[in-house]
Structure 1
Amino acid sequence: QRSRSTMEDSTGRPTKKTVAVVGGGLVGALNACFFAKRGFKVEVFETREDIRQAEVVKGRSINLALSHRGRQALNKVGIEDKIVSKGIPMNSRMIHSLSGTQSQIPYGKKGQFILSVDRANLNKELLTEAETYPNTNLNFDHKLQDWSAETGQMTFARSDGSTEQIKADLIVGCDGAFSALRKQFLRRSLFNYSQTYIPHGYMELTIPPINGEFAMKPNHLHIWPRNTFMMIALPNLDKTFTCTLFMPFEDFEKITTGDEVIDFFQKYFPDAIPLIGVDALKNDYFRLPGQAMVSIKCSPYHIGDKCVLMGDAAHAVVPFYGQGMNAGFEDCIVFGEIMDQLNEDFSAVLPEYSRVRVPDVHAIADLAMYNYIEMRAHVNSKWFLFRKHVDNLLHFLMPKTIVPLYTMVTFTRTRYHEAMDRWHWQDKREGGVGRISRGMQEAGSQAGGIRHSQVHWTL
């Protein structure tokens, strides 16, 4: 066992206080840059080996959708352009009907888009950026065993059986949805915690290039909505698409042979079979079982002036609003803004961070749950498509008064809970438009369109 002090930077000069970032994933690596830029001595501790040298990167691999909040955080540490240059713009949802026809639903105004980025590559870039700061040290193969909220003392175990102790002025927990750091929060009174597993799992498949080019139009997020389940596909720089099938676990379990896989896809995703390939589909479907998705809420995010949770450790959300990473990155911005306001006084900063951030990330957790229903079911509704056009028209005519919820969440830094409140307010304001629209819909229904009972009133 060994311990070390971290009160000097690599040049031997005294530094500000020591910050220990537990977790070297996306939010942890970005946080290291934020704290190092402020002059703190930063120690990052990651359980895994250095993914930049690993032959196989362990962990989740669902493609990420980088949007405004995340880009702003990257901009704060000067690497937005580098990351954006390695992403693929997605201007709209491309809806694949059962018959194989495709239709677009733009994400926002012309020029607004989200970016498909590779999780592993982004993580590598962030770790490399963190290492450029002389006051940052990356420690891999360090698994948190124990820590003290009173003293800031931590004990880490290594794969060779050794342990290491380190003391920090601030511990920042960025160690994911199943955070080891958060376990101590659970032992304390007045700490609220809940976790919800949704009954759907996910499975990843791949659409390879055709003759060296994308097999589908690349600048879209492709969606096959099928009411109780759906498949999406995001483009990659190597001209592949990563497909993710979201489906109830009981439906995954019903399919036990390769022929049953093909029968299932022939029934629900026929246009995807030649894109993925029959043999690949039969093999890849059984490579891994459906993976679980969890939504976690807790509060407060801090203990005293010694520890704070960020990213999935504080607020794991299901992936259906594309805001998990963006919300985690925005945590870094919000914490920095509060640090500026309160002169980096941790005893004041940490409780203020909890007060400000909790309602926002609870709101995006709820919106992510809601958006799953929208993505797998409502986008098939003619009423939904009509309402989207109405919203966009009203936003064009009254840009400061009517702003679509998706626009507020994805293309601004409007606080999440304020976006939700404004969404409800706008929905009431648009009641007159809704009544006119409903009348038009009912008239169309009588003329052979969809029945009113099939229509979802939703944004």
Structure 2
Amino acid sequence: MDYSTNDNKSISKKKVVAVVGGGLVGALNACYFAKRGFQVEVFESREDIRQAKIVKGRSINLALSHRGRQALKQVGMEDTIVSKGIPMHSRMIHSLNGTQSPIPYGKKGQYILSVDRANLNKELLSAAETYPNTNLNFAHKLLDWSTETGAMTFVRAEGAKEEIQADLIVGCDGAFSAIRKQFLRQSRFNYSQTYIPHGYLELTMPPINGEFAMKPNYLHIWPRNTFMMIALPNLDKTFTCTLFMPFEEFEKVTTGDQVIKFFQKYFPDAIPLIGAEALKRDYFHLPAQAMVSVKCSPYHFGDKCVLMGDAAHAVVPFYGQGMNAGFEDCLVFNEIMDQLNEDFSAVLPEYTRVRVPDDHAIADLAMYNYVEMRAHVNSKWFLFRKYVDNFLHIIMPRTIIPLYTMVTFTRTRYHKAVKRWHWQDKVINQGLLFCAAVTVAGGSYLLVRYSPNMPNIPTEQLWSRLQALKSPF
């Protein structure tokens, strides 16, 4: 049957694309390849989460922004997902004394969306299943695959093995990718993984009288320098609170009473909102989970296999770009497929060339942003610079663009956004230094010129004295 919408794609109709991993990026990729007319086979080691009573895996709330929305838009899923998200226009900073201060993410009208990971995954799987040229294969665990032929061996839930042949293997099977293991056996494959010393623990803040316990259209942050807690709103009027803290600090809290004392010291305003008993119960429900950052290159092997999402670039969650970067992988690959007429031998190396520097850049930014979220937001200088950057962006929107705006509200390539950020930071700091020097010099001139107790000094001599003044910065 002809599922292609383009008569020029007769070759691709015969090709089989195996997407390994039925998570967010795998399910979205299935939609992209199916839309192009390929025969798509999705293999997921877990059971179908749409049927599961308990969904295993990560549950950190996700922040959907421009890149992810653009990727969803290409397969007609943007409106469906956005309608089930909650807009967050600002960070809401909770100080130790209980005061709350908003820091807008961007210009008026710009926001990120709090979305439920499990629901998003279910929606994408159902969307992929609407294509008649897509099969979803659950409870299929990959044992091995051939770099020469593209043949894969899976073991099914009942223990039976199954051999699958594909023209292209797309590895979307997460940070501990089974597909990537074959890459590690090859020469000239670069790979690194870094566990940060912090873990995360999730808590639930229930509704109060059927309504949100806090203002819902914010990403709430309790920054405490070496650790922090955040809270994102959910459609059921709850907040998912996530405590990020060094493992050694988690290990110091071993009893319910110690949990309450810890929260009384660092998050006192959260105790009545979460509930003391619920807090003691939820804190020990699961141990703190680890967070890993993965970098590798190249992303492809010949014309047989390509890595996307966490399999290619797992990032820590502090820039809210892990999912968005993974979704943009799908979009970028699709754009390159258009440019190179679906020739895998040309598409795959071009995808590596284009995408590796961007994904490495967002991995580094995510690490940096953890320091910003837990510590810098407490700094008056940081807040001042935020206002300066936003003001300059308003009056010079094409010249000065805040880093967060480039990353979150545009598709500026990640590595180019970082490069531009460094340039802007240097220019703005030099400008502020100049303004401070002029202010000090001008004030000194007026003080000297008009003081009744000072002699009338010629301007030339005064200027030479002013030049000798040191900047206060």
What TM-score do the two structures reach when normalised by structure 2? 0.90
Seen in structure 2, the aligned counterparts of structure 1 residues 304 and 110 have a Cα distance that, compared at 3 Å, is: same
Supply the distance in 2 between the matched residues of 1:63 and 1:441 (Cα, whole angstroms).
47
SS in 2 for 1:339: helix
**Which residue of the partner structure matches residue 106 of structure 2?**
108
Structure 1 residue 429: Cα displacement: 1.6
Seen in structure 2, the aligned counterparts of structure 1 residues 303 and 104 have a Cα distance that, compared at 3 Å, is: same
Unaligned runs of 5+ in 1: 1-6, 443-456
Supply the distance in 2 between the matched residues of 1:430 and 1:200 (Cα, whole angstroms).
33
**Which residue of the partner structure matches residue 44 of structure 2?**
46
Counterpart AA for 2:420: R
Seen in structure 2, the aligned counterparts of structure 1 residues 326 and 252 have a Cα distance that, compared at 3 Å, is: same
Supply the distance in 1 between the matched residues of 2:161 and 2:128 (Cα, whole angstroms).
24
Supply the distance in 1 between the matched residues of 2:260 and 2:394 (Cα, whole angstroms).
45
**Which residue of the partner structure matches residue 161 of structure 2?**
163
Seen in structure 2, the aligned counterparts of structure 1 residues 441 and 22 have a Cα distance that, compared at 3 Å, is: farther
Supply the distance in 2 between the matched residues of 1:119 and 1:441 (Cα, whole angstroms).
51
- Out of 123, 141, 144, the residue aligned to residue 142 of structure 2 is 144
SS in 2 for 1:223: strand
Runs (4+) of structure 1 exceeding 4 A deviation are: 7-10, 436-442
**Which residue of the partner structure matches residue 469 of structure 2?**
none
Supply the distance in 2 between the matched residues of 1:201 and 1:439 (Cα, whole angstroms).
44
Indicate conservation of the 8 Å contact 1:176/1:313, yes or no. yes
Structure 1 residue 431: Cα displacement: 2.9
Unaligned runs of 5+ in 2: 5-9, 441-472
Seen in structure 2, the aligned counterparts of structure 1 residues 57 and 338 have a Cα distance that, compared at 3 Å, is: same
- Out of 49, 56, 59, the residue aligned to residue 58 of structure 1 is 56
Supply the distance in 2 between the matched residues of 1:143 and 1:332 (Cα, whole angstroms).
23
Indicate conservation of the 8 Å contact 2:3/2:37, yes or no. no
Structure 1 residue 435: Cα displacement: 1.3
- Out of 374, 377, 389, the residue aligned to residue 376 of structure 1 is 374
Counterpart AA for 2:101: S
Deviation digits for residues 381-402 of structure 1, max 9, x if unmatched?
1111111000000000100000
**Which residue of the partner structure matches residue 235 of structure 1?**
233
Supply the distance in 2 between the matched residues of 1:321 and 1:236 (Cα, whole angstroms).
19
Matched ranges for 1:299-448 at <5 A: 299-435=297-433
Size of the aligned set, in residue pairs, is 435
**Which residue of the partner structure matches residue 33 of structure 1?**
31
SS in 2 for 1:211: coil
Supply the distance in 2 between the matched residues of 1:247 and 1:437 (Cα, whole angstroms).
39
Supply the distance in 2 between the matched residues of 1:122 and 1:208 (Cα, whole angstroms).
22
Seen in structure 2, the aligned counterparts of structure 1 residues 308 and 258 have a Cα distance that, compared at 3 Å, is: same
Determine what percentage of the aligned residue pairs are the same residue.
Answer: 82
Supply the distance in 2 between the matched residues of 1:233 and 1:26 (Cα, whole angstroms).
22
Seen in structure 2, the aligned counterparts of structure 1 residues 334 and 407 have a Cα distance that, compared at 3 Å, is: same
**Which residue of the partner structure matches residue 126 of structure 2?**
128
Question: Quick check: which has more Rg, 1 or 2?
Answer: 2
Structure 1 residue 8: Cα displacement: 9.0
What TM-score do the two structures reach when normalised by structure 1? 0.93
Seen in structure 2, the aligned counterparts of structure 1 residues 137 and 267 have a Cα distance that, compared at 3 Å, is: same
Seen in structure 2, the aligned counterparts of structure 1 residues 346 and 441 have a Cα distance that, compared at 3 Å, is: farther
Indicate conservation of the 8 Å contact 1:96/1:222, yes or no. yes
Counterpart AA for 1:177: A
Structure 1 residue 440: Cα displacement: 11
- Out of 87, 91, 94, the residue aligned to residue 92 of structure 2 is 94
Supply the distance in 2 between the matched residues of 1:365 and 1:259 (Cα, whole angstroms).
37
Supply the distance in 2 between the matched residues of 1:403 and 1:439 (Cα, whole angstroms).
25
Supply the distance in 2 between the matched residues of 1:195 and 1:17 (Cα, whole angstroms).
34
Counterpart AA for 2:354: V
Supply the distance in 2 between the matched residues of 1:254 and 1:439 (Cα, whole angstroms).
49
Counterpart AA for 1:334: V
Supply the distance in 2 between the matched residues of 1:337 and 1:52 (Cα, whole angstroms).
30
Counterpart AA for 2:176: F
Does residue 1:285 correspond to 2:268, yes or no?
Answer: no
- Out of 82, 85, 93, the residue aligned to residue 83 of structure 2 is 85
Matched ranges for 1:252-291 at <5 A: 252-291=250-289
Supply the distance in 2 between the matched residues of 1:366 and 1:161 (Cα, whole angstroms).
41
Indicate conservation of the 8 Å contact 1:153/1:165, yes or no. yes
Counterpart AA for 2:334: G
Indicate conservation of the 8 Å contact 2:205/2:273, yes or no. yes
**Root-mean-square deviation over aligned CA pairs:** 1.8
